[in-house]
């Protein structure tokens, strides 16, 4: 069954991720409080992405076949990743000297370096792609996750994995430790599965108590911002290093946000417009390419980092989003049915963006007469 409000969730998730990444384009020496607020609002949007991945895995698991599942994920996620990564890997391996940044590549061949960048994902200029090798680990673990669906009592493991996420902390930038990131986001994936498996009960609870849930989420954010000295992602070079604090409050805040969004979007799902659906449909394509546009803007401005403020950041965020949407829209037209496997966006025939229905009726009327 198609869940329209989940489309709204996917659109919001990619907006939050792009909004966060544009913050790093500026320096904020004179507007630190503005930066701190924006960091706490938009940091670790990856939790939303992982949550919805787990949600959809459970929702679509009724006819689960591991071989078919892996084949579909390879065609729809891994293959576009391999293709989209090419410009970044070529730039880092053949234009730059990667050994200057990553000493562990000393004495290795170019072929080895290419494979190394593919496995690490975010070690090159399109740094956001670290997410794909990590989510691929979850694809391989699908039989384990399917056991949770068959035996729901196993969801008690969330009582272990969630505290683990709060204490492990997110891997430091650039994200090179695949094991670290996979452990860190595991609870978000499992919580998403749990929310889907108990969707009807959770939707009733959220519907009856939505105002309390949203108020709690907002209050948690305010308290987190006011009472903690650290703002944004809690990075850690090693597991349990605690270099930026003991508890990853940012992760917990985004988990609460997931349930608030589920409740709000379910109640107001009729307001999920065709534009929002289209952004949701192409969310993976936006994710794949927005790092390139950020890099392009840095090149065009000759790497100058101007002083940031809310309006400069908002302008750049809108510019990046529009650039990604236009690029994807053109790619869908040019690539046709191959757009899904080449850039991660469904063909225009399969996307959620449709012309106004009144225009379609008028066009059909003209043809009839």
Query: Rounded to two decimals, what is the model's pTM?
Result: 0.91
- Tell me, what's the pLDDT at 158? 97
- Is residue 101 one of the residues assigned to a domain? no
Q: Examine residue 91 and state whether it is found in any structural domain, yes or no.
A: no
Q: Is residue 43 part of a domain?
A: yes
Averaged pLDDT, 23-35: 93
- Number of structural domains the chain divides into: 1
Q: What is residue 1's predicted lDDT score, i.e. its pLDDT?
A: 64
Residue 97, in any domain of the structure: no
Q: What is the pLDDT of residues 100-150, one digit of tens each?
A: 989 999 999 999 999 999 999 989 999 999 999 999 999 999 999 999 999
Digit-coded pLDDT (tens) for 207-263: 999 999 999 999 999 999 999 989 999 999 889 888 888 999 999 999 999 999 999
Question: Which structural domain, as residue segments, surrounds residue 267?
Answer: 4-85+121-368
**99 assigned to some structural domain:** no
Asked if the structure places residue 92 within a domain, the reply is no
260 domain residue, yes or no: yes
Q: Is the pLDDT of residue 358 over 50?
A: no
> What is the reported pLDDT for 347?
83
- Domain contains 111: no
Contacts of 345-351 with C-beta under 8 Å, sequence gap 24+, read: 345/281, 345/282, 345/284, 345/285, 346/281, 346/282, 350/281, 351/278, 351/281, 351/282
């Amino acid at each position: 069954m198609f869940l329209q409000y989940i489309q709204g969730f996917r659109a919001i998730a990619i907006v939050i991720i792009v909004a966060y990444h544009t913050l790093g384009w500026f320096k904020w020496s004179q507007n630190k409080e503005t930066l701190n607020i924006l960091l706490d609002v938009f940091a670790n949007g990856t939790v939303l992405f992982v949550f919805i991945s787990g949600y959809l895995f459970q929702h679509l698991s009724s006819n689960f076949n591991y071989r078919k599942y892996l084949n579909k994920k390879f065609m729809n996620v891994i293959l576009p990743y391999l293709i989209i990564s090419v410009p970044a890997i070529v730039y880092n391996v053949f234009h730059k000297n990667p050994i200057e940044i990553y000493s562990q590549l000393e004495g290795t061949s170019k072929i080895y370096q290419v494979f190394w960048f593919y496995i690490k994902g975010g070690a090159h200029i399109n740094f956001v792609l670290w997410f794909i090798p990590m989510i691929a680990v979850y694809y391989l673990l699908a039989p384990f996750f399917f056991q949770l669906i068959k035996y729901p009592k196993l969801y008690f493991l969330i009582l272990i994995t969630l505290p683990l996420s709060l204490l492990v902390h997110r891997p430091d930038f650039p994200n090179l430790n695949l094991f670290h990131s996979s452990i860190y986001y595991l609870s978000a994936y499992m919580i998403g599965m749990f929310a889907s498996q108990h969707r009807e009960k959770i939707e009733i609870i959220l519907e009856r108590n939505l105002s309390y849930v949203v108020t709690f989420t907002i209050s948690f954010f305010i308290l987190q911002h006011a009472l903690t000295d650290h703002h944004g992602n809690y990075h850690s070079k090693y597991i349990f290093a605690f270099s930026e604090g003991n508890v990853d409050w940012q992760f917990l805040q985004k988990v609460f946000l997931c349930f608030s969004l589920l409740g709000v979007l379910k109640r107001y799902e009729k307001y999920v417009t065709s534009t929002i659906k289209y952004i949701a449909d192409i969310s993976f394509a936006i994710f794949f390419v927005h790092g390139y546009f950020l890099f392009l803007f840095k090149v065009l401005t000759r790497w100058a980092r101007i002083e940031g403020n809310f309006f400069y950041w908002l302008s750049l965020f809108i510019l990046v989003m529009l650039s990604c949407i236009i690029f994807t829209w053109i790619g869908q037209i040019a690539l046709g049915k191959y757009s899904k496997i080449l850039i991660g966006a469904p063909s225009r025939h399969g996307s959620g963006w449709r012309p106004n229905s009144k225009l379609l009726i008028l066009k059909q009327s003209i043809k009839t007469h």
